[in-house]
């Protein structure tokens, strides 16, 4: 299997696995209270709109983290494979591209940060520094992922004339719009993070940024044409 086929296959699983795991936990925590620990139940909410609960609050309690943690470990592994195969694709077009190391560094680092976040998820330790550490790790995962994808899109646009036989340009344009939107939303959100008064807004943005990041991989799957050899 060549690098493009691997990227297409891996990308769709990077979308499916997190989407199903996180939303399954949301469904359980809001509707199947009888299987949860006392005090865990959350009132019905659709956090993509109302920000009624954060992702970490949704997935961190038993038995929910039994679903979420393995899914994130698998996703982290797939992310590393995705970025290493992406490096092969970049090298086929330009072995000396100046931003290749940055793309791989931020991409692989985002996978490592996701693994760290998953490891500590569900571990209860009443310490402000520990809570800050978890938030920083999760925020860093998102930032690194966006940086890697932004550099990659920049590369594709620089060689766009060479890609007509390999990709659907329309999906590349959609990816550029999406990454721009996610970066703008993330920048706007940063000043509000320390304030609890905006927690519903922060939660809603968190869910939608999460969705946007994994949709990005679905678009990658759709962008590359089938039977493309590189």
Mean pLDDT of the chain: 84
Q: How many Å apart are CA 117 and CA 69, to the nearest integer?
A: 9
131 has pLDDT over 90: no
Reported as a pLDDT band with limits 50, 70 and 90, residue 41 is very low
**52: DSSP letter:** -
35 has pLDDT over 60: no
* Structure-block tokens of residue 148: 């890697």
pLDDT of residue 136: 77
Q: How many Å apart are CA 215 and CA 118, to the nearest integer?
A: 20
52 has pLDDT over 90: no
Report the range out of 44-48, 90-94, 199-203 with the highest average pLDDT.
90-94
* Structure-block tokens of residue 45: 């909410």
* Rounded mean pLDDT, 150-158: 93
pLDDT of residue 153: 94
Q: How many Å apart are CA 115 and CA 73, to the nearest integer?
A: 6
Burial 35-57 (b: 16+ CB within 10 A, else e): ebeeebebeebebbeebbbbbbe
217 has pLDDT over 80: yes
Comparing 102 with 136, the larger pLDDT belongs to: 102
Identify which of 118, 187, 192 has the alpha carbon closest to the alpha carbon of residue 147. 187
pLDDT of residue 202: 79
pLDDT of residue 8: 92
pLDDT of residue 163: 85
pLDDT of residue 53: 80
**37: DSSP letter:** P
* Rounded mean pLDDT, 182-198: 73
pTM of the model: 0.87
* Rounded mean pLDDT, 121-126: 63
């Amino acid at each position: 299997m060549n690098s493009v086929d691997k990227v297409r296959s891996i990308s769709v699983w990077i979308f499916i696995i997190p989407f199903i795991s996180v939303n399954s936990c949301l469904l359980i925590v809001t509707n199947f209270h009888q299987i949860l620990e006392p005090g865990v139940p959350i009132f019905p909410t659709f956090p993509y709109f109302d920000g009624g609960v954060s992702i970490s609050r949704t997935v961190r309690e038993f038995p929910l983290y039994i679903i979420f943690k393995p899914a994130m470990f698998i996703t982290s592994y797939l992310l590393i494979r995705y970025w290493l195969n992406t490096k092969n694709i970049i090298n086929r077009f330009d072995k000396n591209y100046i931003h290749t190391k940055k793309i791989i560094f931020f991409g692989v680092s985002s996978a490592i940060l996701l693994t760290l976040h998953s490891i500590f998820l569900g571990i209860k330790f009443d310490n402000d520094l520990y809570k800050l550490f978890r938030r920083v790790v999760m925020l860093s995962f998102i930032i690194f992922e966006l940086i890697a994808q932004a550099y990659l899109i920049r590369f594709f646009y620089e060689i766009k004339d060479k890609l007509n036989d390999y990709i659907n340009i329309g999906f590349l344009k959609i990816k550029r719009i999406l990454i721009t939107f996610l970066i703008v939303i993330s920048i706007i959100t940063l000043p509000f993070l320390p304030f609890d008064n905006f927690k519903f807004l922060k939660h809603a943005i968190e869910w939608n940024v999460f969705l946007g990041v994994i949709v990005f991989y679905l678009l990658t799957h759709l962008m590359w044409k089938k039977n493309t050899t590189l």
